[in-house]
Structure 1
Amino acid sequence: MRGVTIGPIESLRHPDKGYGTRASARAMDEAKALGSTWISLTPFGRVWDLKPSGIDLTFEAPFEQNREDVLRAMHQAHARGLKVFLVPHLWVETGGWRALIDPGDDAAWARWAAAYRHFLLTWARVAAEGGAEMLSVGVELRSFVTTGRAALFYPILEEVRRVYPGLLTYSANWDDAEDTLIFGELDLVGINAFYPLADKDGAGRDELHAGGRRVAEGIERLAAAWGKPVVLTEIGYTTRKDPAVRPWEWPDGMKNVTIDEEAQALAYEAIIAPLLDSRACAGFFVWRYYADPDDVSQESEWGFSPRGKLAELVLRDAFTARWAADGPSFLGENLGRHRARTPGLLGWELSPPPAWHSSF
């Protein structure tokens, strides 16, 4: 899964720029040109705070409009030969991280589970109608799926299976994936993989690559424990100095930022390179591009998007390389197409690698 997340631009203040528009079609074209084989779409539902009792399906634009927009975006992707991963997210209106949602006592949790069931089944039906090939049943719901409350989640998964025929995964946060209890009911282990690759600023290439190898080793262990492949449902780094130290930090609140494209590109290189050698890793989804590729209002200049930056070259290089998860190659496969001889090092090659070079 060579994936790119295409984030929504749902606000009514941005007409003709969101999912399903001509701008969105250009975003799909760019994803295809990058070498992507999948795109991820991320509709949102809204909760008020971390003690919710319900989920508002309307986010910026009314739900019915968002539903139709997402279906059109799926059609745009499929028309270009791209597979679709639908990832319904929760937005906490008053702030706070969705992983810390705690409605309260048993009765409150039962109400929350019913609300989440309605939210997820709604988007599962959209995924089925649009022919999405994979669906995430949740994003960073630590309090729900790493605790005894997971018992409330299993019946929801059974209902999702009845309305949606495609692959199911769940987007665990990188630091609680090992504690997530529901992976046994899913097809792939999913991780939002904002792993730190170093523990201090100023780390060099060797240290970051060592961090990437540690991440790959952990993924191998997790895949072995569950007996199924791992997909990194999000990976990403901001465009600033030392982005691999605390990669989860949101760019909007940062001040006095030093923009550093080389640091972003190096972080991508360090985490991707060992994944290409891993048969346990089914692929990853880059966080993120936007539904209008020309709209730069969605995040700061030092934000996550790799579009038009050095990091994009790393991604192009990796997406056109051979991965261990691709399976065995066949004679003449590489004739006549671009191929990265050294994944992650920005090197484009027309010819097959020499016999002594390891093949990816």
Structure 2
Amino acid sequence: MKVLRLLFLCLLQFSCNSQIAEKINGISFVASRDKVTQAHINPVLNVKANYAAVMPFGFIRNLTASNVVFNTDRQWFGETRSGAKQYSELLHKNGIKVMIKPQIWVWKGEFTGDIQMETEESWQELEKTYEDFILTYAELAQEVNAEIYCIGTELEEFVKNRPEFWIKLIAKVKTVYTGKLTYAANWDEYTRTSFWAELDYIGVDAYFPISDAKNPTKIQMSEGWQKWKIQLKNISKKEGKPILFTEFGYRSMDYTGKKPWLVDRGEMEVNLTAQADATQVVFDEFWKEGWFAGGFIWKWFIHYEKSGGIDDNRFTPQNKPAEDVIRNNYGDY
């Protein structure tokens, strides 16, 4: 009887460890002017990441413009089809899995979730050009055997106003790409996204507000996560899909948990400890959960030596204490 009990415990431990080992430990691999070399990949390996999000870009002139411009000679290499292919192939060569995640940039940095057309004709034009954009990169995702393809990022008004388009788009994507699918919903959008049943992961850009404190403690941030964590778990159960943090991360600054989505150039004081602690709390709260698939740190630049550092208050964890937090946790899972 003792032998059977011991065998059962060993099998249970093996099962749990296998589940943990399957977590998506990703970085958001920022597009650059340059081709990627092995020297650019080595820091990704060093941080123990097993996934990278490759992010080609399309551009829209303003929030009511209907034409998505993409894959042009005027773009940086990494933002184009050729660049995304080169990045993906070298990442794969190093054993790093890939999520291709095409994104939209609105001129002057306006929020993509507010893109909304003023006429039916404009909506139809947006649908046509966005479909071309997404199918172009779905075909690339199939070509390079990308493990995950993301059909959009933070497009709440587009999704809300044109639900039938998105169902048809997903069906078309599935005719050219056979891997796993997700959509990167903003943290305050994902509960209203209507097509999770058609995808494999509930993708969330996880910039949830978790503390108003200037220098929050881990306990404060953990407490701040609880209502959001319950909500995430409930929708995962309802939809029967795992949660994937298509983006997560914090700026290395004071008040890092108050409005984690801030991308302004405000001269907030550098706070390296707050970024590191906030990052650790995400691992503590989510990485052991069976309904949670993993996530992609926002963000990681290819020129490692020039990125981040102790005087930088931006999102990247590179050359900061938060990088050690990521390395230690990705190494454990």
Match of 1:123 among 137, 157, 180: 137
State the 1:200 CA deviation.
Answer: 4.1
Letter in 1 for 2:182: T
Taking structure 1 as reference, are residues 201 and 295 closer, same or farther at Cα in structure 2, changes over 3 Å only?
A: closer
**Gaps in structure 2 of 5+ consecutive residues:** 1-23
1:51 is matched with which residue?
64
Range moving further from structure 2, 65-74 or 234-243: 65-74
Letter in 2 for 1:304: F
- Give the whole-Å Cα distance in 2 for the aligned partners of 1:199 and 1:83: 36
2:214 is matched with which residue?
201
SS of 1:242's partner is coil
- Give the whole-Å Cα distance in 2 for the aligned partners of 1:244 and 1:166: 34
Conserved 8 A contact 1:85-1:134: yes
Match of 2:176 among 157, 163, 180: 163
1:5 is matched with which residue?
28
2:258 is matched with which residue?
245
Taking structure 1 as reference, are residues 143 and 45 closer, same or farther at Cα in structure 2, changes over 3 Å only?
A: same
Conserved 8 A contact 2:57-2:79: no
- Give the whole-Å Cα distance in 2 for the aligned partners of 1:235 and 1:105: 35
Deviations 1:181-219 (A, max 9, x none): 111111111000011111343432211111234333222
Runs of 4+ aligned structure 1 residues displaced above 6 Å come to 62-65
SS of 2:41's partner is helix
2:288 is matched with which residue?
277
Conserved 8 A contact 2:59-2:70: yes
State the 1:34 CA deviation.
Answer: 1.1
Name the structure where helix makes up a greater proportion of residues: 2
Letter in 1 for 2:266: M
Letter in 1 for 2:203: G
TM-score (norm 2): 0.87
State the 1:63 CA deviation.
Answer: 7.6
TM-score (norm 1): 0.81
Match of 2:147 among 111, 121, 133: 133
Q: Which aligned pairs between 1:211-230 and structure 2 lie closer than 5 A?
A: 211-230=224-243
- Give the whole-Å Cα distance in 1 for the aligned partners of 2:41 and 2:57: 20
**Gaps in structure 1 of 5+ consecutive residues:** 11-17, 323-360
2:302 is matched with which residue?
291
> In the alignment, does 2:277 pair up with 1:254?
no
State the 1:128 CA deviation.
Answer: 1.2
- Give the whole-Å Cα distance in 1 for the aligned partners of 2:287 and 2:303: 30
Taking structure 1 as reference, are residues 63 and 154 closer, same or farther at Cα in structure 2, changes over 3 Å only?
A: farther
Deviations 1:66-118 (A, max 9, x none): 22221111111111111000110001014411100111122221221111101
- Give the whole-Å Cα distance in 1 for the aligned partners of 2:120 and 2:77: 29
State the 1:64 CA deviation.
Answer: 10
Letter in 2 for 1:186: L
SS of 2:98's partner is strand
Conserved 8 A contact 1:2-1:37: yes
SS of 1:136's partner is strand
State the 1:153 CA deviation.
Answer: 1.4
Match of 2:204 among 181, 191, 199: 191
Conserved 8 A contact 2:251-2:315: yes
1:70 is matched with which residue?
84
State the 1:21 CA deviation.
Answer: 2.6
SS of 2:113's partner is helix
> In the alignment, does 2:19 pair up with 1:41?
no
State the 1:294 CA deviation.
Answer: 2.7
Taking structure 1 as reference, are residues 317 and 213 closer, same or farther at Cα in structure 2, changes over 3 Å only?
A: farther
